[in-house]
Amino acid sequence: MTMKQHIAILLTSCLLPVGLIQAAPSSNVAWTVETHRMVKNGDPAIGAKIETVETEDVNACTDCHGKGGAEPDRDKHPTLAGQVAAYTYKQLRDYKDGSRKNRLMSEAVERLTDEQLAALAAWYAEQPLAKVEVDEEDTVSETTVELVFRGDKTRMIQPCASCHGPRGEGAIIDVPAIAGQNVKYFVNTMKDYAKEKRANDIYSRMRIIAKALTRDEINELAVYYARLGSGQDGGGLKQASAE
Ligand code: HEC
Ligand code: HEC
């Protein structure tokens, strides 16, 4: 073998895995009949128990997210209360197999079965949306409210409400409630989508939008949606009763 051929082989063997990683799907959760059945059969009473379990290495869910996912200990921890069950289930599965990357969360779910993840999702879906603190001085401009209901055709931004619902309550199948979300977490996760650090959104639905928004718009959208929470019923319940 010549040196050139040798280098060529070395190069292809280095490049191949990179190609495979890029071709990997954004999520391994497929919305088959079985997945829907799994989410639908999640037992909230079991979820309520699991969220308080702590082991030697891993904190309980409640330590970081609060009881029922409604009182996170820090504002960079998301609220989970009132969340659409299919969305929560998908996120937990994505953390478990690494499609969504976060060390704390992967450790929290690695010991749990899919049935237990569905039980947790059903438990959070039953709660009203969280009431989160928002600085009274934070204002939301009219152009930002326009993004919510009309989008911006010039930048190919679809209205948020067309997917997340008129009150940010979430929708079928796996579109999350974003009302009542912590401002800091909301902003962080939008930045993560924009930087492709979070890439588990099927068809890049959120990455495309997050990249098109300015930083100020993201901040104001976070405030707008945080204020919509305040104890309204989440989309979670509505979906659980829908066939
Ligand atoms: C040590 C703190 C900690 C523990 C324990 C923890 N979480 Fe989390 N959780 C986080 C953080 C931080 C994030 C945001 C990570 C990110 O940006 O991806 C998160 C994200 C989530 C999300 C995604 C929320 C969304 O809106 O997309 C869900 C669902 C969730 N956690 C559920 C759980 C459950 C269920 C447990 C227990 C089995 C748990 N967490 C334990 C800190 C924690
Ligand atoms: C085409 C449908 C669609 C539109 C339009 C849309 N979203 Fe989303 N959004 C989604 C889906 C689906 C997800 C969940 C993706 C995943 O699994 O990570 C999501 C996730 C999010 C999240 C993360 C929620 C969490 O708990 O981590 C935020 C924040 C968000 N969207 C805000 C917005 C805002 C603000 C707008 C308008 C500027 C918007 N979205 C427009 C479909 C949409």
d(CA 116, CA 136): 39
Question: How crowded is the C-beta side of 180, counted as CA atoms within 13 Å?
Answer: 27
Q: Where in the chain is the domain with CATH 1.10.760.10?
A: 29-125, 142-241
Say how many Å lie between the CA of residue 164 and the centre of ligand 2.
7
Q: Decide: 59 in ligand 1 pocket, CB within 6 A.
A: yes
Asked if residue 189 has its Cβ within 6 Å of ligand 1, the reply is yes
The pLDDT tens digits along the chain (243 residues) read 555 555 554 444 444 444 444 557 899 999 999 999 999 999 999 999 999 999 998 999 999 999 999 998 888 899 999 999 999 999 999 999 999 999 999 999 999 999 999 999 999 999 999 888 898 999 999 999 999 999 999 999 999 999 999 999 999 999 999 999 999 999 999 999 999 999 999 999 999 999 999 999 999 999 999 999 876 666 555 554 444
Query: What are the C-alpha distances in Å from 49 to residues 116, 120, 125, 234?
Result: 10, 9, 15, 21
What distance in angstroms lies between residue 162's CA and the mean position of ligand 1's atoms?
26
pTM attached to this predicted model: 0.90
Number of the ligand 2 atom closest to the C-alpha atom of 148: 37
Helices 142-149 and 215-228 sit at what angle, rounded to 10 degrees?
70
Q: Ligand 2 mean position to 176 CA, how many Å? A: 7
Closest CA to 88 of 78, 76, 101: 78
Distance 29 CA to ligand 1 centre (A): 18
Contact 117, 124 (CB under 8 A): no
Bridge-partner residues for 66, per DSSP? Answer: none
Instruction: Looking at the structure, give the CATH architecture of the domain made up of residues 29-125.
Output: Orthogonal Bundle (1.10)
Determine the Cα–Cα distance for residues 210 and 128; give it in Å rounded to an integer.
27
- In terms of CATH architecture, what is 142-241? Orthogonal Bundle (1.10)
Round to whole Å and give the CA distance between 40 and 37.
5
Q: Report yes or no: 214 and 144 within 8 Å, Cβ to Cβ.
A: no
Q: How far apart are CA 70 and CA 73, in angstroms?
A: 10
